[in-house]
Amino acid sequence: MRFRTVFKKLDLVSVIVPVYNTKSTLERCVNSILWQTYPNFEIILVDDGSPDGAGELCDQLAKQHQNIRVLHQKNAGLSVARNAGIKIAQGEYITFVDSDDAIYPDMLAELSSLRNDPVRVCSFTEVAPNGKRHAIPGAVSWEKGCIMPSEVERQSFTVEDCLRYMLLEQGFTMSACGKLYHRDLFKTVQFPVGKLYEDVGTTYRLVMQCPQYVSFSPVPIYYYHQNAGSIIHQNFNFHKLDLIELTDQMCDDIDAKFPNLQNVTNLRRMHARFSILRQMVLAKPTPENQVKFQQVEQGITSYLLQHKNWVLHCPDANRRDRLAMRSLLLGRPVFKLAWKLYNQFR
């Protein structure tokens, strides 16, 4: 289905694709970009020292298509790969696609056709390993493989409203993907090197640079393929505490400029801690890290219980966090059982 055919201006768009251990999905990702109806784009494949042969596949694809460039680097992580891609990008606008994901043929056309704001956002579709897909809350729904309705209302949010919807994950999330950014935004913002959950420390800073508005299309045209090897699905390790650190820094920065969002940032602080605690209660600590593990878990649990009303009395709290809080109030064994069942049936 084609929902946009007229382009306002054919600015060059740089599509940055970090590549690591995704040889099996890389061609699907690259083909989805090559099939774009928007004609003026370049693809930058950043091989982050991938050991599975994905780097060689990047070179093969570049030989076949003139608008693909490849950058090889020693393994340094997603943030370094994205930052390296930004440095060599030639486009007036930049977008990111993860190499195990894909995009709808009209994604660049849709984002480029929105109002001329420095950040433009679309919604996304989650694709399960069995191929089943569903749009996230706040997006227009899929029906029989087509986007419905055909006439979709595009919106312009104030920066404050954009942050609110993003924190609540209504229509879009803090992911760096599924968004189009003016290149000037990256003059003062980089992805944090050496951190997991790097999007949490970056996307809000790009949004907060916008002078007035952020454009949004609720069409779910970024395809997020759920992957068992992704960070959120890997077993717990202490490096994952980056999520709490980056979330607290983000919320502090937002509270300082937009105090009316404090209820929402409070929910986000709780959400980050629930995400980590769920992983911890299902993990098996080694004898060497047993003491530290218990101290961290107790600290997170104490914080959550101390601020339980942020979830229980806030109408914006989502069902998952309400369930998490109620089960935690019944004790660790109930909380652990609840999330074993959640992981089994979600």
Q: For the segment 16-35, what is each residue's pLDDT rounded down to a tens digit?
A: 999 999 999 999 999 999 99
* Three-state DSSP state, 133: strand
Given this model, what pLDDT does residue 85 score? 98
- Based on the domain organization, do 285 and 213 belong to the same domain? no
How far is 330 from 123, CA to CA, in rounded Å? Answer: 36
- Based on the domain organization, do 141 and 274 belong to the same domain? no
The per-residue pLDDT of the chain, averaged, comes to 91
Of the candidates 216, 232, 248, which is a domain's last residue?
232
Cα of first residue to Cα of last residue in the chain, in angstroms, is: 30
- Based on the domain organization, do 124 and 271 belong to the same domain? no
Of the candidates 177, 202, 232, which is a domain's last residue?
232
Does the structure show a pLDDT above 80 at 107?
yes
Q: How confident is the model at residue 345 (pLDDT cuts 50, 70, 90)?
A: low
pLDDT tens digits for 134-164? 888 888 875 544 454 455 778 999 999 999 9
- Based on the domain organization, do 212 and 257 belong to the same domain? no
- Based on the domain organization, do 190 and 310 belong to the same domain? no
Given this model, what pLDDT does residue 257 score? 98
Residue 283 belongs to a domain: yes
| DSSP secondary structure letter of residue 181 | E
Does the structure show a pLDDT above 80 at 206?
yes
- Based on the domain organization, do 204 and 250 belong to the same domain? no
pLDDT tens digits for 57-91? 999 999 999 999 999 999 999 999 999 999 999 99
- Based on the domain organization, do 78 and 173 belong to the same domain? yes
- pTM for the structure as a whole: 0.92
Residue 6 belongs to a domain: no
pLDDT tens digits for 234-280? 578 999 999 999 999 999 999 999 999 999 999 999 999 999 999 99
- Based on the domain organization, do 248 and 332 belong to the same domain? yes
Given this model, what pLDDT does residue 144 score? 44
- Based on the domain organization, do 227 and 243 belong to the same domain? no
Of the candidates 209, 232, 255, which is a domain's last residue?
232
- Based on the domain organization, do 127 and 156 belong to the same domain? yes
In whole angstroms, how far apart are CA 199 and each of 7, 59, 96, 213, 293?
29, 27, 11, 20, 25
Encoded tokens for 301: 């649990």
CATH of the domain at 211: 3.90.550.10
Total domains in the fold of the chain: 2
Given this model, what pLDDT does residue 7 score? 47
- Based on the domain organization, do 248 and 127 belong to the same domain? no
Which residue type sits at 239? H
Give the residue numbers spanning the domain of 277: 235-345
- Based on the domain organization, do 123 and 153 belong to the same domain? yes
Given this model, what pLDDT does residue 135 score? 86
